A and B are shown apart, each in its own frame.
Chain A
């Protein structure tokens, strides 16, 4: 009883804390402050048709680097957690059921298409909604499907970590190139800006997004792989 009323009290406290925001909220009629600058000058300064990408990769590129680092840390800690007590031998049995013919055939058809969609999403991240994180997640979902449909198949951890490290290092390297060749860290003017709205435009943003896509895809695939490898009967 006391517990329930305490919980109710906490919820009411939260509701009371956020109620003023809800009550006095008015939708804006125009952009203000930094958003106005991004909207007015983003086209000339960054050259990306997708302004969210411009903010994520160039204006706030340093945040994105931190974000990639956090995801890397999460995947590394998950790998550590799952590895530390792995007392299973090499030939211990997987707990996955044998997959049906339908799943195997469907995955054979779908996996290449899902991979292609993921690549499309992160290559066009500066033009259409999407970007490196979304494309990477789509790619990881293709590998998750592959792991579900063929549990016996073994994924090399080495390939995953090599792709991950190379894309991570290249991301930082391109950021440093911006210091040398352009205005600052992660400035996208190190390449020609190209025609606005075409695939080869927005300077380094497509390249950075490809690297982010590969990195996120390999990290999430690594998490899925680690989870699968730990699901074995000793």
Chain B
């Protein structure tokens, strides 16, 4: 375990962003800030997934140079996590947009974004 290698730094940064996101979801009162927390949670997960697909000292999985086209498996990083993150980004965007529109509708109804004023489903 090398502490200051690029994969380790990105992994730690990803975990920190993920934890900040959870903290934001749990502690903030403003619905918009909670949505931002969700986005941070998303982003942290994406960074972690890409970091896990890193292979030491290898290059991006794009074979535009002739020397990459032979013996490819020993020259590139893992393309699968990157493809999965591509999927995850799009779905995260859709979910975020839905949450924001929902927040907008809530604000239209009650003119407030403070989550503590919404007690309808509290028991």
Contact = CB atoms under 8 A, between A and B. Distances in A.
Interface of A: 7, 10-11, 14-15, 18, 22-23, 25-31, 34-36, 38-40, 42-43, 49-52, 54-56, 60, 63-64, 67, 70-71, 73-75, 77-78, 81-82, 85, 127-129, 131, 133, 196-197, 216, 223, 227, 230
A23 B8 CA distance: 10
B61 A67 contact: no
B64 interface: yes
Contacts of B89: 133
Given A71-B90, A71-B94, A10 B26 contact: yes
B91 A67 contact: yes
Given A55-B83, A85-B105, 14 more contacts: A7-B26, A10-B26, A15-B15, A30-B74, A35-B53, A51-B76, A52-B79, A55-B79, A55-B80, A64-B87, A85-B108, A129-B60, A133-B86, A223-B97
B78 A35 contact: yes
Contacts of A77: 98
Given A51-B79, A63-B87, A18 B15 contact: yes
3 smallest CB-CB distances across A and B, nearest first, come from A74-B94, A51-B61, A39-B73
A39 B98 contact: no
Interface residues of B, number: 48
B72 A43 contact: yes
Contacts of B15: 15, 18, 22
Given A28-B56, A197-B64, A11 B79 contact: no
Contacts of B98: 74, 77-78
Contacts, number: 137
Nearest to B69: A43
Interface of B: 1, 5, 7-8, 11-12, 15, 18-19, 22-23, 26-27, 52-56, 60-64, 69, 72-74, 76, 78-80, 82-83, 86-87, 89-91, 93-95, 97-98, 101-102, 104-105, 108
A49 B63 contact: yes
A46 to B, nearest CB: 11
B83 A31 contact: no
A131 B56 contact: no
Nearest to B72: A39
Nearest to A80: B101
20 contacts: A11-B23, A27-B8, A29-B56, A30-B55, A31-B76, A35-B80, A38-B79, A49-B62, A49-B63, A51-B61, A51-B63, A52-B82, A52-B86, A55-B82, A56-B86, A67-B91, A70-B90, A71-B91, A78-B98, A227-B101
Contacts of B94: 70-71, 73-75
Contacts of A78: 97-98, 101
